[in-house]
Amino acid sequence: MTYQPKKILLTGCAGFIGSNFLRWLLQKDANVQITHLDALTYAGNLESIKDVLDNPRHRFVKGDIRDAALVKQLASDADTVINFAAESHVDRSIDGPRAFVETNVIGTFNLLEAARAKGGVRFVQISTDEVYGSLGDEGKFTEETPLAPNSPYSSSKASSDLLVRAYHHTYGLDTVTTRCSNNYGPYQFPEKLIPLMIQNALSDKPLPVYGDGLNVRDWIHVSDHSAGVWAAAPRGRPGEVYNLGSDNEWPNIDIVKRLLAILKKPESLIKYVKDRPGHDRRYAIDASKAHRELGWRPQTDFATGLEATVEWYLSNRSWVSSVTSGDYKTFYERWYRERA
């Protein structure tokens, strides 16, 4: 089935990936009308979307996907739901898993129910490669890899993916799920590896590397993820899952050293700290199904994308100060004190 999404209910687009997607989509497609629901948690900030808030094709609603009645009302005139909203940070899920179950599982359930009640809606679920668990030295995740999530975050995402699957099989809801690898780029909250290391290096603070620093992640620029979602939304086959990734695996320590080199800061800032409990060793995505069926391919060269990302953080230091609230600072101090 190919159709063109027009009236879209988007969720969670005051966060990192969603804000990039929202900006990208408004530029890309002049015909979309977007209703955008975000609860503005610590990770969601209007500062990240202030340039599109007045766009007549974008209506922002502050509200929660856990609010079933609100979600149902907003979905009632949508032809497409794209669900980015989630609690997304693994460390916080270890520290306090409840919000992850409530938002990622119950919130997605509410959206699915709203789409089912409306009828004729395409439902796009933004998921993650972390639902597949951890790889050894060989192989990559395909869409056939069994789900084996290891953290409260990834298990809550896997749970929502299973609900999406069930709504397709049981109720015939027209669903598509994308599972992307680790994203980097502008507007990423400075709790995640790349922006955290940039911020600490800029303040000459220690760069906390978990364990031996040899855990491997597969990095993709957020603009390539946006293009992948927008390829899957009209072209994905109903009920299918599409992995999105850039064939770009790096051990964490190499990323940290590259960032220090770009910033011209010394490697003596690196501090190996106590590992994250249950830390997945390696992620790697086989995205050949998305290449084949969606005609999508990532475009961003990693060296260029990483330098541009550092440049963005250097030029947007006021954004960082405005989004790092007292709540985040309290979490940061406690979490890293416990790992010292």
209 binds ligand TYD (CB under 6 A): yes
158: nearest Cα among 182, 133, 141, 183: 133
Q: Which is nearer to ligand TYD, 58 or 221 (CB)?
A: 221
Contacted by 133, from ligand TYD, ligand NAD, none: CB < 5 to 8 Å by type: none
Q: How far apart are CB 137 and ligand NAD at their closest, in Å?
A: 22
Q: Pick one of 13, 193, 233, 260: the residue that binds ligand TYD (CB under 6 A).
A: 193
Q: For residues 104 and 86, is the Cβ–Cβ distance under 8 A?
A: yes
Contacted by 215, from ligand TYD, ligand NAD, none: CB < 5 to 8 Å by type: ligand TYD
Crossing angle for the helix pair 193-202 and 302-315, to the nearest 10 degrees: 50
Annotated catalytic residue: which of 64, 87, 113, 130? 130
Per-residue string for binding with ligand NAD, 59-78, x by CB under 6 A?
-----xxx------------
176 binds ligand NAD (CB under 6 A): no
Q: Which is nearer to ligand NAD, 157 or 265 (CB)?
A: 157
Q: Pick one of 60, 132, 141, 189: the residue that binds ligand NAD (CB under 6 A).
A: 189
Q: Pick one of 90, 124, 222, 260: the residue that binds ligand TYD (CB under 6 A).
A: 90
How remote is the C-alpha of 43 from its chain's centroid? 11
Determine the length of the chain.
340
232 binds ligand TYD (CB under 6 A): no
Residue 111, by phi and psi: left (phi above 0), alpha (psi -120 to 50) or beta? alpha
Cβ neighbours of residue 174 under 8 Å, at least 6 residues apart?
A: 1, 120, 121, 122, 123, 168, 238
The continuous run of DSSP H or E covering 166 comes out as helix 152-171
36: nearest Cα among 70, 68, 2: 70
279: which DSSP letter? -
Stretch that binds ligand NAD, among 79-87, 278-286, 315-323, 331-339 (CB under 6 A): 79-87
227: which DSSP letter? H
231 binds ligand NAD (CB under 6 A): no
Radius of gyration over every alpha carbon of the chain, rounded to an integer in angstroms: 19
Q: Which is nearer to ligand TYD, 156 or 175 (CB)?
A: 156
User: Any idea which residues carry the catalytic annotation?
Assistant: 129-130, 153
The residues binding ligand NAD (CB under 6 A) are 11-12, 14-18, 37-41, 43-44, 64-66, 84-88, 103, 107, 126, 128, 157, 180, 182-183, 189
